[in-house]
Chain A
């Protein structure tokens, strides 16, 4: 059979293929994963862990930055090489974290934002 080609046509085929996975019944997906030699239960829980870790890492880094008085634009998180990078809007210091391990790095974590006295004021007020 002859066929014509275009970018849209290719995208439509890929979309249908991806969609067909979600049309599988519970039994079918479990059986397919089992057929590939992987334990479906373990694989499912590993996937849940990936999502949990991403959520926790995001929470941890934002809470940490907030306590130190740094302000970041959430939209500016950039991903690359398995980690996410951003900069404080006030002092410009950098921060990064990895979702897989939850590890946080960067100057911003080293102390309070010098351009924002909020964190310091809060500590003084509680004395």
Chain B
């Protein structure tokens, strides 16, 4: 006998529910190599954004990427929306990159707050901590740190001309074919240089996310 089932649910709730089911199915459909790439990518962003100093881990970033996606299924205005036609793996990859940058900015702000919090003094007019955040000094600090990080990456390849050329090309915003053309590299040389850069900067040691031994 066919018994009709009445469900007290709006179209909006039903759509959210279906999207949530789709996300769960996508998790199960990820292949081992896709999962490993996501894990490696999460570890990389946590490391290079300096987030380990704030007790953030690769697993935290993976979880956050997924939660922001789930929030996106519940709330059309917020969270990260997994757009149709985009592979789930690629969606998570981009989401983690964006979150890691947001965490870095947030961590820097918090650290700055702690450093710059004025000592309460009834006789002295306190300045807003927000003034300090936007100060030219803070921007200069960030620029110096970035310069040092780039310098470290280049120093790792002082004896590798092709890797240095690829890095310089990336740095200048050139496309792969433009880099090859500019420095006279064939496809194999280019691919091999990229592989050396990746292995050296993202190598995993003692369970770390990579790049740590080189101080990136």
Residues in chain A within 8 A of chain B (CB atoms): 1, 3-10, 12-18, 20-24, 26, 29-30, 32-33, 36, 38, 40-41, 43-45, 47-48, 50-55, 58-59, 62, 73-75, 77, 79, 81-82, 84, 99-100
Task: Chain B residues near A30: list those with CB within 8 A.
Answer: 32-33, 36
Task: Select one of A12, A47, A81 contacting B35, CB under 8 A.
Answer: A47
Task: Chain B residues near A10: list those with CB within 8 A.
Answer: 146, 149-150, 171
**Are the CB atoms of A48 and B71 closer together than 8 Å?**
no
Interface extent on B, as a size class?
Answer: 35 or more
**Are the CB atoms of B62 and A21 closer together than 8 Å?**
no
* In the complex, B52 has a CB within 8 A of chain A: no
Task: Select one of B23, B146, B161 contacting A5, CB under 8 A.
Answer: B146
Task: Chain B residues near A59: list those with CB within 8 A.
Answer: 20
Task: Select one of B27, B146, B150 contacting A51, CB under 8 A.
Answer: B27
**Are the CB atoms of A55 and B70 closer together than 8 Å?**
yes
**Are the CB atoms of A47 and B38 closer together than 8 Å?**
yes
**Are the CB atoms of A79 and B36 closer together than 8 Å?**
no
Task: Chain B residues near A74: list those with CB within 8 A.
Answer: 71, 74-75, 78-79
CB of B18 to closest CB in A, whole Å:
14
On whether A22 and B143 interact (CB within 8 A), knowing A3-B171, A100-B59, the answer reads no
Chain B, range 1-41, C-beta contacts under 8 Å to A: 20, 23-24, 27-28, 30-33, 35-41
CA A99 to CA B36, docked complex, whole Å? 20
**Are the CB atoms of B78 and A43 closer together than 8 Å?**
no
**Are the CB atoms of A6 and B66 closer together than 8 Å?**
no
* In the complex, B138 has a CB within 8 A of chain A: no
**Are the CB atoms of B62 and A75 closer together than 8 Å?**
no
* In the complex, B120 has a CB within 8 A of chain A: no
**Are the CB atoms of B170 and A7 closer together than 8 Å?**
no
CA A99 to CA B189, docked complex, whole Å? 43
Q: Which of B111-119, B129-137, B200-208 contacts A (4 or more CB under 8 A)?
A: B200-208
On whether A13 and B171 interact (CB within 8 A), knowing A29-B37, A74-B71, the answer reads yes
**Closest A-B pairs by Cβ, 5 of them:** A75-B78, A44-B32, A54-B63, A26-B33, A44-B35
CA A2 to CA B5, docked complex, whole Å? 71
Task: Chain A residues near B197: list those with CB within 8 A.
Answer: 17, 20
Task: Chain B residues near A84: list those with CB within 8 A.
Answer: 67
- 29 residue pairs bridging A and B, Cβ less than 8 Å apart: A3-B150, A5-B151, A8-B173, A9-B172, A13-B170, A17-B44, A17-B201, A17-B202, A18-B45, A21-B198, A29-B33, A29-B40, A30-B32, A30-B33, A30-B36, A33-B204, A38-B204, A40-B36, A43-B39, A44-B36, A47-B38, A48-B35, A50-B63, A51-B66, A54-B62, A54-B63, A58-B66, A79-B67, A99-B67
